A and B are shown apart, each in its own frame.
Chain A
Amino acid sequence: MIPGIDVSSSALDAERTRLDVIAGNLANAQNTSDASGNVYRRKMVVFESKLNDALSTGTNSGSQVQVARIIDDPAPLPKVYMPGNPKADAQGMVQMPNVNPLDEMVDMMTASRSYQANLQVISTGRSMFEQSLKIAE
């Protein structure tokens, strides 16, 4: 009923997932041993448009967005000299996660701005709907 609300709420979902992943990356920025004992790798979300069912019936309402998958960043892991660390190799080097807090911060800003933009769309759609209700007054 409210124009575009399905699409916008799917985007809110997707951006929130992205924010969760960023939080996970920042929290694990120094984690050298994840659940399976490997060095933590930065996670990245991949967004994709969901093909709309309504497309086939001709009443196209735009495409929703969803998180297709969450992938590991293949960038090389930096090495840090930490001889005392139990994970250190013969030269005293330890592999650290490839999380760069700066990248995460920028991603976080983008995600939160996109979230705001979508909220704005929903509130505009809602006021349009309210306007149409007033016609019958």
Chain B
Amino acid sequence: MPIDGLFISPALQSLRLTMDESALRQQAISSNIANVNTPGYQRVDVSTAFQQAYSDAMTRLSNGESVDAMPDASIETAAVQGPARPDGNTVQIEQELVGMAQNSARYEFAGQMLTQNYHQMKSAISGQF
């Protein structure tokens, strides 16, 4: 097995993708919270194309298949539940804050797992625990 093979294992790849997706979502959430008082602002989220590609990739990786190139990570105006506020703003601050808590936990989880993975790899290479 070539050495590169170590770093493209499905586990590592899916953790990396999760961190990417999570960082992008944090951007979207920060934009929403920053604009909570901007009249007419439309809530944004990770683009549906990217979300779709992300969940497809996750399924493929958990089945041990390889993943095609991911589409560009981007943010777009998101659909909202419920009516906009009278000033045309569609941000609901509570939803954003809850989303942020979940999102950062996901990021932290993926980060921890990735760290663990690399530690194990290092142990195996050096033969020291």
Query: A interface vs B, CB < 8 Å?
Result: 3-5, 7-8, 10-11, 14-15, 18, 46-49, 58-65, 110, 114, 117-118, 120-122, 124-125, 127-128, 131-132, 134-135, 137
Contact = CB atoms under 8 A, between A and B. Distances in A.
B75 A61 contact: yes
Contacts of B27: 3-4, 7, 61-62
A7 B34 contact: yes
Interface stretch (B36-44, B52-60, B61-69): B36-44
Interface in B86-125: 93, 97, 100, 104, 107-108, 111-112, 114-115, 118
14 contacts: A3-B24, A48-B38, A49-B38, A58-B74, A62-B30, A62-B32, A63-B31, A114-B37, A117-B97, A121-B100, A122-B30, A125-B30, A132-B19, A135-B114
B76 A60 contact: yes
B118 A135 contact: yes
Contacts of B23: 3, 128
Contacts of A59: 72-74
Contact of A3 (B26, B34, B115): B26
Interface of B: 19, 22-24, 26-39, 41, 44, 72-76, 93, 97, 100, 104, 107-108, 111-112, 114-115, 118
